[in-house]
Structure 1
Amino acid sequence: MSLSPLYNLLRLKSFDGSSNEIFAEEDDHNVSPKFQLEYLYLSNHGQGGAFPKFLYHQMNLKYMDLTNIQMKGEFPNWLIENNTYLQELQLENCSLSGPFLLPKNSHVNLSSLSISMNHFQGQIPSEIGDHLPGLKVLKMSDNGFNGIIPSSLGNMSLLHELDLSNNVLIGRIPEYLTTGCSLLETLMLSNNKLKGQIFFENIDLEFLRWLQLDSNQFDGIPNSLSNCSSLTMLDVSNNHLSQMIPGWIGKMSSLVFLDLSRNNLFGPLPPSFNTSSMLQFVYLSRNKLQGPITRPFYNYSELLALDLSHNNLTGRVPEWIGKLSNLRYLLLSYNNLEGEIPIQLCKLDQLTLIDLSHNYLFGNILSCIISTAFFTSSTDAYAPESSQESFEFTAKNVSLSYRGSILHYFIGIDFSCNNFTGKIPPEIGNLSKIKALNLSHNNLVGPIPPTFSRLKEIESLDLSYNKLEGEIPPQLTELYFLVVFSVAHNNLSGKTPARVAQFATFEESCYKDNPFLCGQPLSKVCGAAMSPLPAPTLTTNKDNSGFMDMEVFYVTFGVAYIMLLLVIGAVLYINPYWRRAWFYFIEVSINNSYYFLVDNLPILSKFGFS
């Protein structure tokens, strides 16, 4: 951290020590450097101790970057006061604490100030916009700032990027901020406690590109945002929005990233989501959206992510999804969808994550989906907005949020809690990179495919609550990354896999309710004689020795006889024609019987019948 060996270099203007491990070293207090630096770069990581003494003697600094050096202490406002030519100051993740102190006088040359990821507390100084009017970039995220957003920020007429996210700010967005900062391109106020209306009315925000206001308490999306022709990112997730999705959002031709998840949005998907060709990421999960998934994203050929989970959507999985040739993430879980998986989904050869769980889907699991180039891990470069993407996916029996670059490597299928039937496609064994597979709570039959032994990177495998039969393939013990495994509540038989590697950690609950399964960790020992069935209870009734239970026969016969009489009586009561025919039949039968007896009585008397 000390540059004392270089103190005699009179002409030294720039020093770049970045990408090294920086450590603290005491300066020579009796010697001042002969150089006047203009550029100082020491960013990477390390323990820098206190700010080095030689910085007190520098008056010509223009650019200074100490990112990720644990300096501790308070903000060095003296550094800005001494260096009137300073244009860029980067002090991210430097463990600075205490209040944020402004220079005593106005500093017009400073254009970029980044103090994110420190431990600052207290309020943002109310006069910050007056003391630093030339700022183009101001990053103060991930600190402990509280209080309101100073209205003086509106005096920064050159401000392009403002990041105050992940603090404890309260109150409303000052209207003067959005009117004064006419060149604003990025506004990030997420993860605070802001509330109320978002004031963009009658404001021309033609330069606004990123707007991130998630995890606050805003209650409406202003219609004036429809005039932001350059907006590429709109994130108003995790707020209190209670309205229908504005139709004008679908008309924002530059929009790439849209996140309206975790709100109270209701009504159907707007039909006007069909005009932009730039949209790549759509998050509408955890709302109260209703109705079918019609064709709102039909023309979005560049769509990479579609998350409509945790809503009240109905109808079938639409066939037009198969036209989204670049789709990587499809999440439709926790809705009321029904029908079969459309065969058009076989065309989605870029998918790496699909979640259709907790619906009413039925039919077979399409093997053609898996037999294509489906679920191939990719590390292709995404748009800059992709760093904000995140998904909620259940793996290892826990619902987790996956964010950022990890999604490039996470591959998963969740078809659980539906009504799928048929056999498990053996082609699933070709998904060698898959991390999570959940087919539980369905009506799948047949054996567990032995090809599952090729899922070398799988961590979570859940096949419970089905009607699977046969033995558990012993080759599954070769799945060394498996953490969660369950085949409970099936009709499996034979011996459980050997208690080796990961399978030595799986408990009895992973295999329970398979009546013909034996071996550890189950209590049933393989090879043991089956316990005899209990002998039938003997009774004193002699008819029990026959093939028929006579007591049951008599009861059944009596009930059937009574039911027949009741049915005949009911028919005769309802139908007068049949009633007259029945009585006529009885009358004729009585007459015939009478005359038969009269004619044959003399003959019967000769044989002793009276």
Structure 2
Amino acid sequence: MELKWLLICLILWFQVIGYNGCFEEERLALLQFKASLESHEYGSKFPILPSRIDEPENNCCEWERVSCNSISAHVIHLSLDNIWNYDGTEVYDDETIYDLKVSIFQHFKELRSLNLSYNNFGAFVEKEGLERLSNLKKLKVLDLRFNRFNRGILSWVTRMTSIKILNLGSNYIEGSFPCQELIILQNLEVLDLSDNDFNGTLPMQELASLQNLKKLDLSDNRFNCTLTIPDFIAFKSLEILDLSWNDMNGTTLPPYMWAPPSLKALSLGGNKFQGSLSSLCGLKRLEKLDLAKNMFGGNFPLCLHNLTSFRYLDLSYNNFSGQIPSSWLSSLKSLNYINIRHNLFEGLFSFDLFANHSSLELVDFSDNKIMFETKYSGWVPPFQLKVLVLQNCHLSRIPKFLHHQFRLQMVDLSKNKIHQRFPTWLLDNNTELAHLILKNNSFIGPFHLPSNSSFNISSLDVSDNYFNGQLQEIGESMFPNIMVLNLSKNHFQGDFLFSPGDNCKLTSLDLSFNSFSGEVPEKMISSCTSLEIIKLSHNNFHGKIFTAQFNLTSLWSLHLNDNSFMGTLSSISINQFSKLSVLDLSNNRFHGEIPRSMNSITTLLHVNLSHNSFRGEVSCKFFSAIYVDLSYNNFSGSLPSCFKIPSKFKKTRYINLQGNRLTGSIPDDFLNQSRLLVLNLKDNSLSGSIPNKFGTFPKLRALLLGGNYLNGCVPNWLCELNELNFLDLSRNSFSGSIPNCLYNLSFGRTKVDGDLFETQLLFGHLFYYVYISIDALGETHLYGEQQNYISVDPKIEFVTKYMPYNYMGHILNLMSGLDLSQNKLTGEIPFELGKLFQIHALNLSYNQLIGSIPETFSNLTALESLDLSYNHLSGEIPFSLIDLHFLEVFTVAYNNLSGRIPDMKAQFSTFDNSSYEGNPFLCGPQIGKKCNNELPNSPPMVHAELEDGKWHEIDRLVLFTSFSVSFAIFFVGVITILHVNPYWRGRPFHHTEQFVLSCYYVVYDTFSKLLFGRLFP
């Protein structure tokens, strides 16, 4: 009895006073864990487990990241997440995989939660300690998210059978679903295996043996099965099920009894489900439904009207159609989030339907066929939205109910037809508004805000509207938190007045496609060191921008093209542009040499210095970028030898050196770029032959060497470039015959997916994306993120239809051409060229080609331009060329062709004398020369009028000639008869006299009767 009271007193004493100090075994284990981390390369750079951890007298229960039981003093919580980045910097290598010494944790026998997430752990130092982990009988929570563990981690986890919450999300576990390992953990309530690499089917019936399971997250894997009824019927306690972003499919979901009635949240987004939703009608407790990005379609099933507990509803990116069920929508009084964007809903919608939705915070109805009621109906909404997205909703005015919203954080009304002035009241009413997107509308007038106002805006996009006039001064006091400002594609003019403070947060500025003038504000280029993207292109800015004050050290994309900037680049230092990836200075007035410091910027991916006055030699350093355009400058000297460029820089895809003063021959070791797609060396003074190593560009799509002094034969190895779409060797001195193997080249037969022609070359656009999430408590959170990618359309200049055209974007996948004109080529035209079925332009003019025009050219059904002029071709023009229905330009002028010109049918009816001149032995109506022997040279004209009924099938020359001759004979005959016979010569006068007298008496008699009738009625 006394022992019992003594024990009670000891317990009470420990509760009041507590145990002073942690267990030595656990303290030493923590020190051992720290030592194992410090042995890594980055371990000594971070304060791992700080707070005087190395002092032996310290109590480990007071250390950071460690929590102990207040009575027993045993360690019960270890928060060892994100160790390598604990000080808030990211200097460790993301690719580094760190070892984990798991046997250390066997010493924490009272441990209840262990968090090792965000650490890049991926391997075990030893495995002999794994069996001892079964001693952790009190461990309830194990968080191993965002590591590099593979399937081997399961042998560790399954030894801790007491676990209730297991998170293995965002690791590298692959293969089939580990059902046999996981069903050992019978106490599991939460299982998260999201963002791994599982595949195959889901053994859900076996997994249902986990009777306590409440949350199951298998999203972001590669499961490719179809859901069936037995898969889920055995789950008794499941409340949250997330199968989104897999490869699951099925024409319909299983019938409504497939899921437990306890289910509150169901996420199936990002799969391939389709068909009806009637299977969900029995889930009356469902609060969250995510079906986004599937293939569901049709109208809403009526039975869903019974589900009135929804708080979160996402049906976006499907094919639902018909009208939104207004009665059902108005009954969802607990609704917090609704997203139905990118469907086929239609009809008239009024926000009055939300008159009883006091919890509504997020609405996205974008990209449907709905017509919105925007007039004021007198109602005051009970809700206060945080997010409203109405992209492409056919709005002509801003909805009136927004006048009663005061907690908005994001408004996106882009891609509509709103024709109003800028809604200043929207900013005044919503002091928390951070993201306002009004791009691609018809807003008008000046863009003026109250000068004494201060707004919380962090991203403002009013691009592609009709704002005009002088832009008011934008200062730090007006937009103290502005990060993204997009005013592009408007009609602003005058100086750009910008006065940032010392705490400038601006990261992206786009003023392109306006009429701004003057110089760039000095304060902007000296104080806004956080600027990452600047787009000032297509304006009238002038002056020098690269001065000593230029201090944009965070810049990675700079677009100054199509202005009047001037000066040199001599002041640029590598420290200023250490992060620069995109530089576009084209179409300005820059001059001078490129400084060596710029050649040392290894981060450059896109360089466009075209249409300036830069001079000096071309450096190999440029060819480490993906896109290089130095065309139309004054670069001189010979091409460099860049074959030994390091392999890590072998990523160049586009090189344009056209229109410079480059001389000498093309080095054999000019380039070693296996991924090169476009090489343009046109309009220089290069000489010699084409190097054989050009054949090492297997992906080359365009080789443009025209306008140089190149000579020799057209090499046969060019035929190995079988993906070539454009080949221009014109205006050189090539001799010999045309290789008959050129038909091996693509010239449009091969469509390119990715790389260059199907998509844009580099990293896309000035863009600020806002992520929206709702936490477990129902709170809406917005996360802004800059999308650092720039859109660059590769450009190819090619002469066709007598004109130089610049082909860009997707048209490059539709256009192709071969230009060998203005050389010294001899021999016959290879008939094999008739196998280039998809070629659009073929120019062989100004050579010394002989022989006939191949009949196989009638197979070039996509041909738009054919120029064979100024050669020595003989024979007839094949009549089969009439079948080229897309031919717009055709010329065979100045050859030795003979015979009848093909009939004026189809496209050949549009070609005049200029297409055939200089061929004295040709004949036909096109050149006004009659053919003496038509039948042998032309097909029979039997029933020609029945073929297509066109007037131009009649021989007009014969018609006009015969008519003129017949008329002349008739006229001369009449005159001759009248001259010979006096009687007939007088007869016309006699008949004329009789006719005149008859007319006189008729008129006289008529008037007499009328007059006599009136006088004597």
Measured at CA, do residues 42 and 52 of structure 1 come closer, stay the same or move farther in structure 2, by a change above 3 Å?
same
Counterpart CA distance in 2 for 1:229 and 1:296 is 29
Equivalent residue, structure 2, for 1:458: 863
1:70 and 2:444 aligned: no
Counterpart CA distance in 2 for 1:291 and 1:183 is 45
**Cα offset for 1:94?**
0.6
Counterpart CA distance in 2 for 1:225 and 1:366 is 50
What amino acid maps onto 1:113 in structure 2? L
1:398 and 2:398 aligned: no
1:379 and 2:753 aligned: yes
Equivalent residue, structure 2, for 1:87: 434
What TM-score, normalized by structure 1, do the two folds share? 0.78
Equivalent residue, structure 2, for 1:539: none
1:472 and 2:877 aligned: yes
1:113 and 2:113 aligned: no
Equivalent residue, structure 2, for 1:518: 923
SS at match of 1:35: coil
Counterpart CA distance in 1 for 2:449 and 2:540 is 25
Measured at CA, do residues 364 and 398 of structure 1 come closer, stay the same or move farther in structure 2, by a change above 3 Å?
same
Equivalent residue, structure 2, for 1:298: 671
Q: Please say if residues 585 and 609 of structure 2, whose CA atoms lie closer than 8 Å, have aligned partners that are also in contact.
A: yes
**Cα offset for 1:66?**
2.0
Q: Please say if residues 440 and 463 of structure 2, whose CA atoms lie closer than 8 Å, have aligned partners that are also in contact.
A: yes
Equivalent residue, structure 2, for 1:36: 384
1:351 and 2:756 aligned: no
Counterpart CA distance in 1 for 2:616 and 2:710 is 16
Counterpart CA distance in 1 for 2:832 and 2:791 is 31
**Cα offset for 1:298?**
1.0
Gaps of 5+ in 2: 1-347, 623-641, 764-789, 935-1017
SS at match of 1:195: strand
- RMSD across aligned C-alpha pairs, in angstroms? 3.0
Equivalent residue, structure 1, for 2:491: 144
- Which residue, 468, 471, 479 being the options, matches 1:132? 479
Greater relative CO, 1 or 2 (CA 8 Å, sep 6+):
1
**Cα offset for 1:291?**
4.7
Equivalent residue, structure 2, for 1:51: 398
Counterpart CA distance in 1 for 2:901 and 2:671 is 48
1:181 and 2:555 aligned: no
Per-residue CA distance 1:243-290 (angstroms, 9 max, x = gap) = 345555554433332222222234443355444333333334344455
Equivalent residue, structure 2, for 1:483: 888
SS at match of 2:828: coil
**Cα offset for 1:430?**
2.6
What amino acid maps onto 2:921 in structure 1? F
Measured at CA, do residues 129 and 435 of structure 1 come closer, stay the same or move farther in structure 2, by a change above 3 Å?
farther
**Cα offset for 1:216?**
1.5
Equivalent residue, structure 2, for 1:17: 365
Q: Please say if residues 372 and 393 of structure 2, whose CA atoms lie closer than 8 Å, have aligned partners that are also in contact.
A: no
Q: Please say if residues 102 and 128 of structure 1, whose CA atoms lie closer than 8 Å, have aligned partners that are also in contact.
A: no
SS at match of 2:917: coil
Q: Please say if residues 415 and 440 of structure 1, whose CA atoms lie closer than 8 Å, have aligned partners that are also in contact.
A: yes
Q: Please say if residues 257 and 279 of structure 1, whose CA atoms lie closer than 8 Å, have aligned partners that are also in contact.
A: no
What is the percent sequence identity of the aligned residues? 41
**Cα offset for 1:296?**
8.8
Per-residue CA distance 1:52-96 (angstroms, 9 max, x = gap) = 212222222222222221112222222222222222222222122
Equivalent residue, structure 2, for 1:160: 507
Q: Please say if residues 39 and 62 of structure 1, whose CA atoms lie closer than 8 Å, have aligned partners that are also in contact.
A: yes
SS at match of 2:407: coil
**Cα offset for 1:478?**
1.8
SS at match of 2:382: coil
Counterpart CA distance in 1 for 2:685 and 2:495 is 37
Measured at CA, do residues 526 and 397 of structure 1 come closer, stay the same or move farther in structure 2, by a change above 3 Å?
same
Counterpart CA distance in 1 for 2:500 and 2:846 is 55
Measured at CA, do residues 331 and 249 of structure 1 come closer, stay the same or move farther in structure 2, by a change above 3 Å?
farther
Q: Please say if residues 236 and 259 of structure 1, whose CA atoms lie closer than 8 Å, have aligned partners that are also in contact.
A: yes
Counterpart CA distance in 1 for 2:520 and 2:740 is 52
Q: Please say if residues 389 and 403 of structure 1, whose CA atoms lie closer than 8 Å, have aligned partners that are also in contact.
A: yes
**Cα offset for 1:314?**
4.3
Counterpart CA distance in 1 for 2:839 and 2:505 is 48
Equivalent residue, structure 1, for 2:610: 261
Per-residue CA distance 1:188-242 (angstroms, 9 max, x = gap) = 1111122232326476655433222111122345252644343332221111233
Counterpart CA distance in 2 for 1:313 and 1:64 is 57
Measured at CA, do residues 247 and 488 of structure 1 come closer, stay the same or move farther in structure 2, by a change above 3 Å?
farther
Measured at CA, do residues 399 and 474 of structure 1 come closer, stay the same or move farther in structure 2, by a change above 3 Å?
same
- Which residue, 308, 319, 329 being the options, matches 2:702? 329
Larger radius of gyration: 2
Number of matched pairs: 528
- Which residue, 710, 725, 737 being the options, matches 1:364? 737
Counterpart CA distance in 2 for 1:109 and 1:297 is 54
Counterpart CA distance in 1 for 2:378 and 2:805 is 57
What amino acid maps onto 1:362 in structure 2? S
Equivalent residue, structure 2, for 1:545: none
SS at match of 1:428: helix
Measured at CA, do residues 131 and 318 of structure 1 come closer, stay the same or move farther in structure 2, by a change above 3 Å?
farther
Counterpart CA distance in 2 for 1:268 and 1:427 is 42
Measured at CA, do residues 307 and 249 of structure 1 come closer, stay the same or move farther in structure 2, by a change above 3 Å?
farther
Q: Please say if residues 522 and 549 of structure 2, whose CA atoms lie closer than 8 Å, have aligned partners that are also in contact.
A: no
Counterpart CA distance in 2 for 1:451 and 1:172 is 60
1:416 and 2:790 aligned: no
What amino acid maps onto 1:269 in structure 2? V
Measured at CA, do residues 332 and 203 of structure 1 come closer, stay the same or move farther in structure 2, by a change above 3 Å?
same
Q: 1:434-453 alignment to 2 at 5 Å? A: 434-453=839-858
What amino acid maps onto 1:68 in structure 2? K
SS at match of 1:15: strand
What amino acid maps onto 2:522 in structure 1? E
SS at match of 1:392: strand
Q: Please say if residues 81 and 105 of structure 1, whose CA atoms lie closer than 8 Å, have aligned partners that are also in contact.
A: no
SS at match of 2:848: coil
More displaced stretch, 20-29 vs 376-385: 20-29
**Cα offset for 1:438?**
2.0
What amino acid maps onto 2:697 in structure 1? L
Counterpart CA distance in 2 for 1:122 and 1:489 is 58
Per-residue CA distance 1:347-388 (angstroms, 9 max, x = gap) = 333322232333333333333343245652323244335643
Measured at CA, do residues 51 and 108 of structure 1 come closer, stay the same or move farther in structure 2, by a change above 3 Å?
closer
Measured at CA, do residues 256 and 498 of structure 1 come closer, stay the same or move farther in structure 2, by a change above 3 Å?
farther
Equivalent residue, structure 1, for 2:580: 231
Counterpart CA distance in 2 for 1:189 and 1:295 is 40
What TM-score, normalized by structure 2, do the two folds share? 0.48
Q: Please say if residues 725 and 745 of structure 2, whose CA atoms lie closer than 8 Å, have aligned partners that are also in contact.
A: no
Counterpart CA distance in 1 for 2:599 and 2:832 is 38
Measured at CA, do residues 215 and 359 of structure 1 come closer, stay the same or move farther in structure 2, by a change above 3 Å?
farther
More displaced stretch, 233-242 vs 341-350: 341-350
What amino acid maps onto 2:737 in structure 1? N
Q: 1:562-577 alignment to 2 at 5 Å? A: none
Q: Please say if residues 795 and 806 of structure 2, whose CA atoms lie closer than 8 Å, have aligned partners that are also in contact.
A: yes
SS at match of 1:241: strand
Moved over 6 A (4+): none
Q: Please say if residues 559 and 585 of structure 2, whose CA atoms lie closer than 8 Å, have aligned partners that are also in contact.
A: yes
